[in-house]
Structure 1
Amino acid sequence: MSAPPRDPAGRHPVDQRPPLARLAALGLQHVLVMYTGCVTVPLVFGAAAGLDASAIALLINADLLVAGLVTVVQSLGVSRLLGIRLPVVTGATFAGVTPMILIEQQYGMQAVYGSMLAAGLFGLLVAAPFARLVRFFPPLVSGTVITVIGLSLIGVAAGLITGNDPKAADHASDGRLALAAGVLIFIVLFTRFARGFLGQIGILLALVGGTLVAIPMGLTDFSGVSGTDWLGPAAPFHFGAPRFPPTAVLAMCVVMLVIFTESTAAMLAVGEAAGRPVTDKDLARGLAADGLSGVLGGAMNSFMDTVFSQNVGLIGITGVVSRYVTAVAGGLLVALGLVPKLGALVAALPGPVVGAAALVLFATVTMVGVNTLRRVDLDQGHNLTVAAVALGVGLMPEVAPGIYDGFPSWARIILASGITSAALTAFALNLLFHHVGRDARRRSPENAQ
């Protein structure tokens, strides 16, 4: 996709502010496409840690609050210190779930959030040095990682459509599949025939329309909305004063570096889509905001955040690259975190509807990665080997989830995530083939960044 042209005032499309009504609708659309992925992390961790329903609800509220704050920081920026000032939406990453569960089992919840707080401070300190490595993330690396991100999330979309419990009576039922197909067809037709603002909010209209159709089909459940409180601000250090076991702190610092790798690929993709290439200084501010999420998450009982790839896909579909749209999305996430009843309402969206929209968005992320790889001459040097091996290694834990169960916990933190495996493999192989020895002097231009 190409970014919209500059306006008469000469402002870059990233800095243009749509009219209020469009701003609100486009911001809401970003929230709806990322909400399920965001709240899944506290649901999975809370269940694994044996927390009761009220504690898990607190984690969800805190998760939305921190995600919203960091999204606003990323979109608008704070001085020259924080925020990439691009249209990005952040949310809790699955990269931290496994180590958090292991830390909780060995040291308790106080250590979980103490180590997260320490990792956040570590992230703030190393953001600038890490950003200088951006030349080691050429299209060959970033395109491969983005492709794996999209492919690894397709299964999440399929699970929402069919239902994640194979024993459920409606698992992969005709009704669920028909509803998802209808939403998918709606999105395709809107993308083909709608123009202007309607074309930009096709995903939002599909979610609303699909939910209305799901009501008479019995695929919605809004019973949890009425019993949810209107206000529920998160209390800092709910589980007690933080503790800092060295092993736990080290594990979470490794996770922070993994998050940096994931976010770097996503930020580069957003910059390319928006027509504003990301500089080292931009990336440093963006990664520092990831570090901020660790500090806020550790204090507010939340999670470390990364740039959400489904929202990168949404930008690719709509062509809207204004950072004020994602800033509004961040404000809405803050509201959802402070007003649990609103969060419960969004959470009640039927799985097949959300899954169908997610399928389009995740597949779009995949194609963004493929399009990035088109800039690489795969016939030159060892580019094909780098991309192929990284792609294969990254997809192994997705197609065989238990493949690394016998490895030590520290190794599972890295290897069990397809995104992390692909990122580290692509980075290492690109370094080996294009930056070490004689080949470094003959590397192709796209790998010389």
Structure 2
Amino acid sequence: MTTVRHPVDTPLPPAQLGVLGLQHVLVMYLGCVTVPLVFGAAAGLDTETVGLLINADLLVAGVVTLVQSLGVGRVLGVRLPVVVGATFTAVSPMILIAQQYGLAAVYGSMIAAGVFGLLVAVPFSRALRFFPPLVSGVVITVVGLSLIGVAAGLIAGNDPAAPDYAALPNLGLAGGILLLVVLLTRFATGFLAQVAVLLSLVAGTLAAIPMGLTDFSGVGGAAWVGISAPLHFGPPEFPVAAVVSMCVVMLVTFTESTADMLAVGELTGKELSRADLARGMAADGVSAVLGGFMNAFVDTVFAQNVGLIGMTGVRSRYVAASAGGILVLLGLVPKLGQVVAALPGPVVGAAGLVMFAMVASVGVRTLGKVQYDGTKNLFIVAVAVGIGMVPVVAPGFYRGFPGWAQVVLGSAITSATLAAFVLNLVFNHTKRAAAAPVD
């Protein structure tokens, strides 16, 4: 009897795999490299070091995409057509840790969080009811809102006393990029509309050249092929507060990836078990461990690529594996990393403004799934968002607290996650909780 393969497990001809895989890379590329660009700028890193982070970021994303799509035994990988990239959730906590403890602590805490993720992937898959849309929606909304200020800083600068702060040419360039994104999104169709932000970023960079805002001098000295040395910033350090903050980021990443894995399962007609989800989350943990050693970032399943599956109807996981292979190759080209690292701040900021606002919008959409009538869920959302936004609107709010408390409470993502999780437990998972469902 002939066994019929599920479309997810069906390979495609090599030529199709290459083209479809490249399409996935184009859709997620900007989102992936924006994280090292934003983190590098906020941490005060030079262009050469930011280029190194970009290459490491792409390399690790490619490896983890291969793990997720192809799987490693019965231990790792959801075995779906998913593509991963650096999560925005980790950006703000990483910046705070860098400012408080240094870059060695950033990557040490990431390694620790990755090990934590590997240990709790299976238990977490059984406790997803404690992270309903009520909690994940709050967190994703705050993630997007908290990063808008970072994008504005890239456009205008971060020192109001500087002579070029909020310079009109910079604001005009950013405004032109935003306008182009709007026009492409409104009038372009299909794949062209999907890569509107990427095309606008390229156009903005070309426009910035005659304005004297670009400096590609470091590109010429970069090698064509190479790999960044592990632990570039020295032996990892593990401050307790930094580790706790990154472990919270790991749990938020789990909720992100789980939602997207379930969405891909629905799109492809592949029913997922708890074991499948646990293997997918364990791969997120691997991304943090590998990212910590290779100077990269925590990865999550990218929602952009989930939408692409719905648009194209291509369900083979080998297409995602092809995208992973392309990402690995891109990560081995230092010249490319230096080119991206040299993009002007107003250009990156304009693109980031769109992307971070979209993240917040996804959070709002997630909160739309929550049942509010007859529950205290609206109150939970209000308090959790309020607590999460305090360090964003008042950065010095916790300056009187000990250093470890500033890292935990000063992160919008960490504080919002803890608030939403605890409030959800108190109001919806205690004996006196309302009987109405929370999601």
Q: Percent identity?
A: 52
Cα deviation, 1:169-203, whole Å, max 9, x if unaligned, reads 44322222222222222222222222223222222
Rate the CA distance shift 1:433–1:13 in 2: closer, same or farther, 3 A: farther
Between the aligned partners of 1:313 and 1:73, the Cα distance in structure 2 is 19
How far did 1:396 drift? 0.7
**Structural RMSD (CA):** 3.7
- Tell whether 2:81 aligns with 1:90: no
- Tell whether 2:226 aligns with 1:232: yes
Amino acid at match of 1:32: L
Amino acid at match of 1:223: S
- Alignment-derived partner of residue 445 in structure 1: 437
Higher mean alpha-carbon deviation, 182-191 vs 38-47, is at: 38-47
Amino acid at match of 1:418: A
Between the aligned partners of 1:80 and 1:119, the Cα distance in structure 2 is 22
Rate the CA distance shift 1:169–1:221 in 2: closer, same or farther, 3 A: farther
Between the aligned partners of 2:260 and 2:72, the Cα distance in structure 1 is 19
May I ask how many residue pairs the two structures share in their alignment?
Answer: 422
- Alignment-derived partner of residue 244 in structure 2: 254
Rate the CA distance shift 1:409–1:147 in 2: closer, same or farther, 3 A: same
Rate the CA distance shift 1:354–1:46 in 2: closer, same or farther, 3 A: closer
Between the aligned partners of 2:309 and 2:186, the Cα distance in structure 1 is 12
- Counterparts of 1:321-400 in structure 2, within 5 Å, are 330-400=324-394
Between the aligned partners of 2:131 and 2:153, the Cα distance in structure 1 is 32
- Alignment-derived partner of residue 28 in structure 2: 30
- Alignment-derived partner of residue 300 in structure 2: 307
Between the aligned partners of 1:352 and 1:148, the Cα distance in structure 2 is 23
How far did 1:295 drift? 2.7
1:43, 1:60 within 8 Å by CA — same for their partners in 2?
no
TM-score normalized by the length of structure 1: 0.79
Cα deviation, 1:66-87, whole Å, max 9, x if unaligned, reads 3442344345443442234463
How far did 1:443 drift? 2.8
- Counterparts of 1:202-217 in structure 2, within 5 Å, are 202-217=196-211
- Tell whether 2:425 aligns with 1:427: no
Amino acid at match of 2:396: G
How far did 1:59 drift? 5.4
Rate the CA distance shift 1:113–1:142 in 2: closer, same or farther, 3 A: closer
Higher mean alpha-carbon deviation, 362-371 vs 66-75, is at: 66-75
2:110, 2:298 within 8 Å by CA — same for their partners in 1?
no
Cα deviation, 1:198-257, whole Å, max 9, x if unaligned, reads 2222222222222222222222222221122323323345677x578xxx3754542442
1:145, 1:265 within 8 Å by CA — same for their partners in 2?
no
How far did 1:297 drift? 3.5
2:48, 2:341 within 8 Å by CA — same for their partners in 1?
no
- Alignment-derived partner of residue 257 in structure 2: 267
Rate the CA distance shift 1:421–1:176 in 2: closer, same or farther, 3 A: same
Between the aligned partners of 2:83 and 2:324, the Cα distance in structure 1 is 10
- Tell whether 2:154 aligns with 1:156: no
How far did 1:112 drift? 7.1
TM-score normalized by the length of structure 2: 0.81
Amino acid at match of 1:141: V
- Alignment-derived partner of residue 133 in structure 2: 139
1:31, 1:332 within 8 Å by CA — same for their partners in 2?
no
How far did 1:341 drift? 1.0
How far did 1:15 drift? 10
Rate the CA distance shift 1:336–1:152 in 2: closer, same or farther, 3 A: same
Rate the CA distance shift 1:172–1:312 in 2: closer, same or farther, 3 A: farther
- Alignment-derived partner of residue 399 in structure 2: 405
Between the aligned partners of 2:309 and 2:176, the Cα distance in structure 1 is 20
How far did 1:45 drift? 5.3
- Alignment-derived partner of residue 185 in structure 2: 191
Task: Classify the secondary structure of the residue corresponding to 1:223.
Answer: coil
Rate the CA distance shift 1:319–1:180 in 2: closer, same or farther, 3 A: farther
Amino acid at match of 1:140: L
Rate the CA distance shift 1:98–1:358 in 2: closer, same or farther, 3 A: closer
Higher mean alpha-carbon deviation, 313-322 vs 144-153, is at: 313-322
Task: Classify the secondary structure of the residue corresponding to 2:143.
Answer: helix
How far did 1:113 drift? 5.9
Rate the CA distance shift 1:176–1:39 in 2: closer, same or farther, 3 A: closer
